[in-house]
Structures are given as structure tokens and as C-alpha cells.
Amino acid sequence: MDLHNTDDAVTRRIKALTDRVSMLKEHDLYFYNQPVEELLDDSKVRVRGRVMGMYASYGYLGLLNHPRINAAAKAAIDKFGTGTNGVRSLAGTLTIHTELEETIANFKHAEAAITYSSGYATNLSVISTLMGRGDYVFSDKLNHASIVDGCLMSGTEFRRFRHNDMEHLEGLLKNAPSDVAKLVIADSVFSMDGDIIDLPKTVELCKTYNAWLMIDEAHSLGVLGEKGTGIEEHFNLYGGIDIKMGTLSKTIPSVGGYVAANKDIITYLRHASRAYIFSAALPPAQAAAANEAFKVILDEPERIVKLNLNTKQFIGGLKSMGFDTMLTETAIVPVLCGDDMTAFAITREAQLNDVFVLPVVSPAVPEGLARLRATVTAAHDPSEIERAMDVIGEAGKKLGIIK
């Protein structure tokens, strides 16, 4: 039944998208929302009845189904049940929430921490609570969508600097009025490219131009630094980041988002950020799982060693076959394909050979820079990685991406 048979802009937008989806499905090139039937660990999945090597996981340290983490979640259900009484400020705060926030604060070398129901909600709410009309935000062009949305929602003057381009950032800071509030914000590890923000220079610029600094550690928590505590450990540079944001849904096998910062910022956010005040608290099992996962990371540093070896093997192997992996230095490995259709085609070839990777196309990345966005984790075995690279290499040759 078609209630809206008019040819207005909404109808046209929906039609353009559904046409594209039908075309891709017809050619067996549609990989959006493929249901995973079973997650065997962070290195294997069952999809359409076949067990495939998993190269699209954010579980960088292979913590999914870790016995200690599962046990903590189960114990929390036995103690608190499966939900909360509502929002944090109205009877929704449990001891497991305050414990988790203390664990995060310690892990991130901060005075305090606050949690939200997702990383997306965290960025949206925190940026729009701290910043407002008349203030200035400076955001890397490749920052995650949740950061962009938070900036737009805040109504600030929104300035975007070229990716990791510190000269451009400095120019924009210089041009802003000296008496306004300023916030510089960037991903630590960029979610589509895998490269790392130049933190030392960013910190220096923030000091010079009196700007606050917020860093999103979605892809560096558990990944950067020998202990896996993130970007500050990686650069051995503590104290320069005012607002340390991260998610509990990637390396940490749970759900939720956090900010770690000084006590006053956290108190302010608890009283002023709307996603905290008006949305339900994290379920006890998820809070307990996250809390235990931070402890496991510190107790099992060998996982980080393994992740680094696997990352080196994967990037080195793909590069030696002639693939362009852009500037990645981390477990997020873009395999540049060019146009969207080539990225879809290599995905199909890989999945037919039981390597589960996914493409990223425009508008998520600029046109012409469509890619496989492959990831490795500590759960992979070097021989499995070797096989996955063989499959990707064969497909790349067949499609003319490499020689």
C-alpha cells in the first residue's frame, strides 16, 4: 500500500536507494546486514551455513566469550537482574555502574569517568553539552559520524581540518577569535584508514591556542600502548587530552560509551548531558562484562603482543602483494579497490572462499577510495592470516587491482 504516491523529494530519495539495493542484490553484490549465525570467537563466524575466517571484527584482543567476562556478566544478572529501574539519575545507578566508572578512570589515568548507553550517544551528548552557539569546534575531516553529528547538534562554529594536517589545523585555530571557547576533536585511530592522529603536535597546538582537546579512542583502546591503555601510552604523553572518549563495544565485548576526564568535567556532564539524564542506564550484565574486560586487558598483556604480530603480518603481506593499504599502522587495514563495484566484487570473491571481509564504499569514504576494510585480531592464527591473504590476493589479481 502506497500512502505517498507523490513525487516529492522524500519519495525520490527512498526510490533511489531501493533501486540501488535491488541492483546490487540482483548481481549478488549486497553485503549489508548479513546475519551471522554463530560467532565462534573473534576469528571465525558462521554465515549462510559456512564457517568463515572473520576479518571484520572490532574485537581486537579476542575477548569475546572470555570465561572471566562471561562469568562477570552472569553474576551481575543473578545479583541485579537484566535491566535497571530507569535512568541513572532516578534510581538507575547500581554499584556496578560506579565500579565500572572507577575502573575506566583508573585505566585511562583520569580522575573520573561517566558512561552512556553507546559510543554514538556519548559523542552526540558530550560534544553538544560542552559546546554551544558562538563556540568553535575543530574536527578532523575523517572523524567518525558520531563526532560530526555531535558538532552539528551543538550549533557551534564547525571547522573541519584536512585529515591529520597540523598546518591546516593551526591555520584554522589562528583565524578563530581569541576570546571564544575552542575544542579540537579527533579519532585516535581513524576508523576507516587505521592511521593514528599526530597527538604530540595536536596537544601542542591546543596549548598554544588555548583549546580543549577531545580524543575518541574507539579503535585504540586495547590496541595502542604495550598495556593497551591507548594513545597516551603509545606516545608516552600523558595529561594533554581533556576529554578521553571511548566505546565499550569494540575491544571491550559489551556495549556502551564513556568519557574519562577531570572530576569537574564529569560532574558537569552528569548534571547536564541529556543522553545521561534522559536515557536508561547500562544493563547490569553489560556493565559487569565491561568492568571485567578492562581488568583482563591488564592481566593478559600477551594478547596485545599477539595483536601487534598479527597486524604486522597482515599489513606486510598485503603490501608485498602490491595492495595499497594507505597509511594504516594498526589492526584496521584498508585494502584500496577504487570504485564501489570493484570493492563489492572482491568482497564476493573473498566470501565465496570463506574469508569474511566487508567493503566500505561512498559516502562512508570518498568516491574512488572504496575499499575492503579488513581487520585482524589477537584471536587469529598466523596460518589463518596467511590463507586469508592468499584468498584476497587471488581475488585482487582476478579483478585487476594488483598484478
Catalytic residue among 139, 191, 249, 273: 191
186 three-state secondary structure: strand
Among 191, 202, 286, 347, binds ligand PLP (CB under 6 A): 191
Please state the length of the chain: 403
Active site residue 144: no
- Contact stretch for ligand PLP (CB under 6 A) within 214-222, 271-279, 303-311, 331-339: 214-222
CB of 255 to ligand PLP, least distance (A): 7
Binding of ligand PLP at residue 195 (CB under 6 A)?
no
- Contact at 8 Å (CB) between 25 and 42? no
239 three-state secondary structure: coil
Cα 176 to chain centroid distance, Å, stands at: 30
The whole-angstrom separation of Cα 325 and Cα 334 is 5
The whole-angstrom separation of Cα 75 and Cα 242 is 34
The whole-angstrom separation of Cα 372 and Cα 347 is 7
Residue with smaller CB distance to ligand PLP, 191 or 342: 191
Among 119, 283, 284, 359, binds ligand PLP (CB under 6 A): 119
Catalytic residue among 144, 250, 306, 380: 250
* Helical (H) or strand (E) element with 47: strand 44-47
CB of 182 to ligand PLP, least distance (A): 21
| Cα torsion through 317, 320, 322, 325, rounded to 10 | 50
Among 88, 97, 144, 306, binds ligand PLP (CB under 6 A): 144
- Contact stretch for ligand PLP (CB under 6 A) within 212-220, 275-283, 343-351, 359-367: 212-220
Catalytic residue among 219, 234, 244, 380: 219
For 98-118, b where at least 16 C-beta lie within 10 A, e where not — what string? eebbebbbebbebebbbbbbb
Which of the residues 215 through 274 are near ligand PLP (CB under 6 A)? 216, 218-219, 247, 249, 257
DSSP codes joined into one string, 9-41: HHHHHHHHHHHHHHHHHHTT---TTPPEEEEEE
Angle in degrees, CA 375, 376, 380, rounded to 5: 150
CB of 361 to ligand PLP, least distance (A): 17
Which of the residues 99 through 118 are near ligand PLP (CB under 6 A)? 118
What residue type is 368 in one-letter code?
A: G
The whole-angstrom separation of Cα 163 and Cα 177 is 23
- Contact at 8 Å (CB) between 228 and 62? no
CB of 123 to ligand PLP, least distance (A): 6
Which residue sits closest to ligand PLP, CB atoms considered?
Answer: 119
Residue with smaller CB distance to ligand PLP, 123 or 251: 123
Write each residue from 58 to 97 as x if it is in contact with ligand PLP (CB under 6 A), else as -, in one continuous string: ----------------------------------------
User: What is the set of active-site residues?
Assistant: 191, 219, 250
Q: What is the contact surface with ligand PLP in residues (CB under 6 A)?
A: 118-120, 123, 144, 146, 187, 191, 216, 218-219, 247, 249, 257
